[in-house]
Amino acid sequence: MLEEKRRTGQIRAFERQPVFLLQDSFRKNGKTFRKIEYRADFKIIHNDGTIEIVDVKGYETPEFRIKRKLFEKRYPYTLTIVKYVKKYGGWITLDEYKKRKRDEKRGK
């Protein structure tokens, strides 16, 4: 799908499995702490030069919630999390999925 968008000029480029440094490695009290990285599914460069990071998730793990916060603080890029939900017609953002689930619980 992204390759087709690139070929037809809908996006400038994309990259698979980009890695983002969230925290450098460091030493404290004689102990070395490893760096923390986040590997997304796609980095999309739109025709206007803006960069969007896309990650496909079935659900949010506690580890991902922390990494998402670290990513949002460190990088200016838009981070879009999507999931496939047949009930809602296919691919939707994780935020939209959460909103719909809340609305269903409230009976809206």
Amino acid at 10: Q
**DSSP secondary structure string for all residues of 24-40:** --EEETTEEE--EEEE-
CA dist 35 and 93 (Å) reads: 29
pLDDT of 108 higher than 80: no
pLDDT in tens, 30-58: 999 999 999 999 999 999 999 999 999 98
Domain-by-domain residue ranges, the chain? Answer: 2-82
Average pLDDT (59-79) is 95
Token digits for 92? 């939707």
Return left, alpha or beta for 23; rule: phi > 0 is left, psi -120 to 50 is alpha, else beta.
beta
Q: What is the pTM of this model?
A: 0.85
